[in-house]
Amino acid sequence: MDAIIERCAGLDVHQRTVVACILYGPLDRKPKQLVRTFGTTTRELLSLLDWLTEYEVTHVAMESSGVYWKPVWNILEGDFTLILANAQRIKNVPGRKTDVNDAVWIAQLLRCGLIESSMVPPKDIRRLRDYTRYRRKLLSAATSEKNRIHKVLQDANIKLTTFMSDVFGVSGRALLQALVKGKVLQPHQVQSMVHTHLKKKVPALVEALNGRVDQHHRKMIQYHLNHLDFVEKQIAEIEYEIEQLLIPYREEMGLLNSIPGIDKNAAAAILAETGVDMSKFPTEPQIASWGGVCPGNHESAGKKKSTRTRKSNRTLKAILCQVAHVNARSQNRISAFFHRIRKRRGALKAVVATAHLILRIIYHILKNRIPYHELGPEYDKAQKPSVHHWVQKIKQQGYEVFVTPVNGLP
């Protein structure tokens, strides 16, 4: 293997230790090797930084081992060219048994330029990612608390959900608080608590509130409401922090919002996962594979075994699938694509295929800095199948195809 980096280091990161190996020397000779083990406290990691700087290391590679690589990355960031390697790809190459040899092997691969770096966004995007992911967790927690309140109401035979679409709006909260306090509400009291069209349903609401509510039900509803209030307060605080981090990315947010089905929250979450620098992904297939929406191609003896997508960025995939569901109910090019795939492959595969299409659109919009342009529901039907399409169809039947241009035509 030909060396291309004179001074580099490989790190094998664990919870308690970091094994570091430095390789340095002329590219046309066998490099000198230094191996040393450090702890993972801040003081030890700063010693690692000083040691790498002392030997004038320029490139450092490490495996993406859980979350243990993050503090190492944070301390070394800005002083070296850092490369985060996919652990599975490195381990597929045989050659080492112990931890020390792990670090040596990473350094050897790095010296020869054989490590493909994973996408690590800038620090502000990483912080935005933490907030958007935690916001999704809190929204899930809020939904769980609401469902628990619904169950308690049903157990007490309180039928508010039959006449109210949102029990947790202003009117619903007022009725729930009165219920918790043990009040027996009269029609004129209910009339003063509800708003808008609910005033027409006062007799039905009074009847719905006539259940079998005991002290246990009141306490459980109060506990769930208290937790729900706390979670909603946290969501509001996190959304403020997200808005502050998005100030430098107003242009990118505008570009993403131009895509049908992507609102402010979805755009922020997508931006937090992909970043804004599309040069990290040279081609569409690479970002599709990284996003977990690229179909697998597992064949044996000419028979297709599975098209299951690979496990990758699950958060991004979930967001894209939500956007796909939103577009499925619209009338646009994305919706037409969804329904066309659903006829042939079913709804589940149509959702993933539509998520794949949306990610490709996002890729080109952020790369070329141009807003989304709606092509209409009939766009895909108007496109004639390419030569590549027919070649692939014939190959699927077990034939070998050779394509030669005729009369100067492409």
Six-digit token string for 132: 């958007």
Tell me the C-alpha to C-alpha distance, in Å, between residue 202 and each of 6, 176, 180.
80, 15, 19
Phi (first) and psi of residue 18, to 5 degrees:
-130, 115
Give SS3 for 114.
Answer: coil
Query: 131 near 242, Cβ under 8 Å?
Result: yes
Q: Would you state the torsion angle of the CA atoms of residues 115, 118, 119, 124, taken in this order, to the nearest 10 degrees?
A: -100
User: How does DSSP assign 361-389, residue by residue?
Assistant: HHHHHHHHT-------TTHHHHSPPPHHH
pLDDT at 320: 95
Cα–Cα dist 272/125, whole Å:
6
Q: Between the CA of residue 110 and those of 51, 67, 103, what are the distances in Å?
A: 18, 22, 11
Q: Residue 1: its pLDDT value, please?
A: 65
How far is Cα 100 from Cα 105, in angstroms, rounded to an integer?
9
Task: Fold for 7-111, please state it.
Answer: Nucleotidyltransferase; domain 5 (3.30.420)
Domain residue spans in the chain? 7-111, 125-245, 250-382
pLDDT for the residue 407: 63
CA distances from 276 to 13, 126, 355, 364 (A): 28, 12, 19, 11
Length of the chain: 410
Q: What are the angstrom distances between the C-alpha of 114 and each of 5, 61, 280, 295?
A: 11, 11, 17, 26
**Rounded to whole angstroms, how far apart are CA atoms 374 and 331?**
11
pLDDT of 99 reads 54
DSSP code for 404 = -
pLDDT at 102: 85
- Amino acid in the structure at residue 203: P
- Side chain identity, residue 291: G
| 3-state SS, residue 251 | helix
Q: Is the dihedral of CA 361, 363, 368, 371 positive or negative?
A: positive
Pairing of strands 7-13, 59-63: parallel
Q: What string of pLDDT tens digits covers the 410 residues of the chain?
A: 688 999 999 999 999 999 999 999 999 899 999 999 999 999 999 999 999 999 999 999 998 878 899 999 999 999 999 999 987 777 766 655 555 588 888 999 999 888 888 889 999 999 999 999 999 999 999 999 999 999 999 999 999 988 888 899 999 999 999 999 988 888 889 899 998 888 889 999 999 998 899 999 999 999 999 999 999 999 999 999 999 999 999 999 999 999 999 999 999 999 999 999 999 898 888 899 889 888 766 555 555 555 666 667 899 999 999 999 999 999 999 999 999 999 988 999 999 999 999 999 999 999 999 999 988 888 777 676 777 777 888 887 888 888 877 765 55
In a 13 Å sphere around the CA of 252, the CA atoms on its Cβ side amount to 23
**C-alpha distances in Å from residue 74, one per residue of 7, 67, 78, 159, 227:** 21, 12, 9, 53, 35
**Distance, CA of 365 to CA of 278 (rounded, Å):** 10
Element (H, E) at 395: helix 387-396
Q: Which of 165, 164, 156 is nearest to 220 (CA)?
A: 156
Residue partners of 399: CB distance under 8 A and separation at least 6:
none
